[in-house]
Amino acid sequence: MGSGMKVHQFSRGLWEHEPSLTLGCCKNTSLLLRPLAPKLPTADSVSTTAATATAAFDLKSFIRPESGPRKLGSSDHKTEATQVETHPGGTRWNPTQEQIGILEMLYRGGMRTPNAQQIEQITTQLGKYGKIEGKNVFYWFQNHKARERQKQKRNSILGLNNSPRASTASTITTISLDTRGQMEKEVEESPYKRKCRTWTFEGLEEEKRHCKEGGDKTLELFPLHPEGK
């Protein structure tokens, strides 16, 4: 199955990178602050770092917090952000027809992996038609691209066999709307590109057990960093 092993080496060094404007949380404005770190060559950094860097930094709360002291009931942390409510009934994004339409239009227009700014704009626009987040847009493009590709691969393989029910799923006929120069090689996609997408974590995760039978809405909330950038 995996017999491709193609190596793309060209198109090198032409991708620019975005410096990703560093939200204001990192409060080190002085640029040369790494006075520590004696930079010993070929240091194993095992015993040394363990001694130097531990500081005030209890790992217990980080590593698998379930095994540690369970601090669920205690409002010890800063549980003050009341951003409750969130997803009323569903865990995952349920796109509306308008949203899908716009996304497909963008895809057909040639967009493959939008960058952060584009995702932000798209999310803002699609937000008018229903709840959506940036990651939904991102994932949609990822998935759509991958599935279009494997659909085409399957069609190209099965198409030679010409089984009478293979490709009757969609059979879109009115594709040729205007098709200016945009369409180009819908097939034979270029497999590697180098983009930079700067993203930052913001919302905290929501595990929400399978919620098949649980009806209670005890949603506690956590401190996100509300200070934006």
Partner DNA sequence: GCAAATTAATGATTTATTCAAG
Partner DNA sequence: CTTGAATAAATCATTAATTTGC
Task: Scan residues 133-162 and list those touching its own copies (CB under 8 A).
Answer: 133-135, 138
11 near DNA, judged by CB under 7 A:
yes
Q: Smaller CB distance to DNA: residue 93 or 183?
A: 93
207 near its own copies, judged by CB under 8 A:
yes
Interaction partner, residue 98 (DNA, its own copies, none; CB < 5-8 Å by kind) = its own copies
Alpha-carbon distance of 222 to 71, in angstroms, equals 13
Interaction partner, residue 41 (DNA, its own copies, none; CB < 5-8 Å by kind) = DNA
31 near its own copies, judged by CB under 8 A:
yes
Distance from the Cα of residue 131 to its chain's centroid: 17
Provide the mask over 158-197, with x wherever binding to DNA is found by CB under 7 A and - wherever it is not: -----------x---------------------xxxxxxx
The residue from 6, 7, 50, 213 that contacts its own copies (CB under 8 A) is 50
Alpha-carbon distance of 41 to 81, in angstroms, equals 46
131 near DNA, judged by CB under 7 A:
no
Please report how many Cα atoms fall inside a 13 Å half-sphere around the Cα of residue 78, on the Cβ side: 5
Within positions 61 to 90, which residues make up the interface with its own copies, using CB under 8 A? 61-67, 81, 83-89
Q: Smaller CB distance to its own copies: residue 87 or 154?
A: 87
Per residue in 182-214, is it b (16+ CB within 10 Å) or e — as a string?
A: eeeeeeeeeeeeeeeeeeeeeeeeeeeeeeeee
Distance from the Cα of residue 153 to its chain's centroid: 25
The residue from 3, 29, 42, 67 that contacts DNA (CB under 7 A) is 42
The residue from 9, 74, 97, 161 that contacts its own copies (CB under 8 A) is 97
Alpha-carbon distance of 43 to 197, in angstroms, equals 32
The residue from 146, 158, 187, 219 that contacts its own copies (CB under 8 A) is 219
**Looking at residue 60, what DSSP letter applies?**
G
Confirm if 220 and 79 have CB atoms less than 8 A apart: yes
Per residue in 55-92, is it b (16+ CB within 10 Å) or e — as a string?
A: eeeeeeeeeeeeeeeeeeeeeeeeeeeeeeeeeeeeee
Residues that bind DNA (CB under 7 A): 1-2, 5-9, 11-15, 17-18, 20, 39, 41-42, 90-95, 100, 112-113, 135-136, 139-140, 142-147, 149-150, 169, 191-198, 205, 210
